[in-house]
Amino acid sequence: MSMPLDNDSLCNATASYRNSDELEPVRQAVWRSVHAIDEAAEEVRAIVAKHLTPTDSTKALQALNHVYVGAPQNIKDAIVHNPDALLILECAAGEANAPLTKKVAGPVLPQERTHAAMLCLQQATRRLDARLAAAVVGLAMPGHEAFYQRNESILPGGRLFGPAGADLLRDVVDCIAGTPEGDDVAARLMALGGAAAKAQRGCRRRNGR
């Protein structure tokens, strides 16, 4: 019958195993993963420094997407939680929402504002990976929801978007569909869009587009 190991013996045995050659592949894999995440973070930080401006996130967003689509899944997960990446995504969402609050000369109908905002959002997300696009749209959503609450009583039919805006909405929804985040945001957008957006999307599906 073997005797139980005392604490010192157990610690020594554990340390010996951790330092053994058997764990070398594991250590190397962990090191490569950590190193790759650090490299990706440096790339994103460089994108912010080089491309992000107070008034234009377009180049930064495209560069971020380029890094993201070429990365393995664990690096993608790290990128979407990276503070510098989040800054780029927030800037893109803020720029897309600018027509909702921008001061202009003369009266502007609410659906004209939402059409302009949805056009900006469509242009910002149309070439992005679905997960990044969903992140941008998700960050833009509170602005649209707040605009709806402020203007609900004067929106024709209670719909946030007119026919042209609904068509753009459908493009954005198609762009972000297929990810858990995108499907959730798409449902919120469609709820704001009302019957016009749903009819547009249903027609699109029947036509195989």
Q: Which domain holds residue 141?
A: 23-206
Considering the domain boundaries, does residue 13 fall inside one?
A: no
Considering the domain boundaries, does residue 10 fall inside one?
A: no
Considering the domain boundaries, does residue 41 fall inside one?
A: yes
Considering the domain boundaries, does residue 16 fall inside one?
A: no
Q: From first to last of its 209 residues, what are the pLDDT tens digits of the chain? A: 444 545 555 455 444 544 545 545 544 444 456 788 889 999 999 999 999 998 899 999 999 999 999 999 999 999 999 999 999 999 999 999 999 999 888 788 999 999 999 999 999 999 999 999 999 999 999 999 999 999 999 988 888 998 898 899 999 999 998 888 899 998 888 888 754 444 444 434 433 44
Q: Are 60 and 22 in contact (CB under 8 A)?
A: no
Could you give the 3-state DSSP secondary structure of residue 178? coil
Q: Are 88 and 65 in contact (CB under 8 A)?
A: no
Considering the domain boundaries, does residue 197 fall inside one?
A: yes
Considering the domain boundaries, does residue 91 fall inside one?
A: yes
Tell me the Ramachandran region of residue 71: left when phi exceeds 0, alpha when psi lies from -120 to 50, beta otherwise.
Answer: beta
Considering the domain boundaries, does residue 198 fall inside one?
A: yes
Alpha helices in the chain (DSSP H): 7-18, 24-51, 58-69, 73-80, 83-101, 110-125, 130-151, 163-176, 180-206
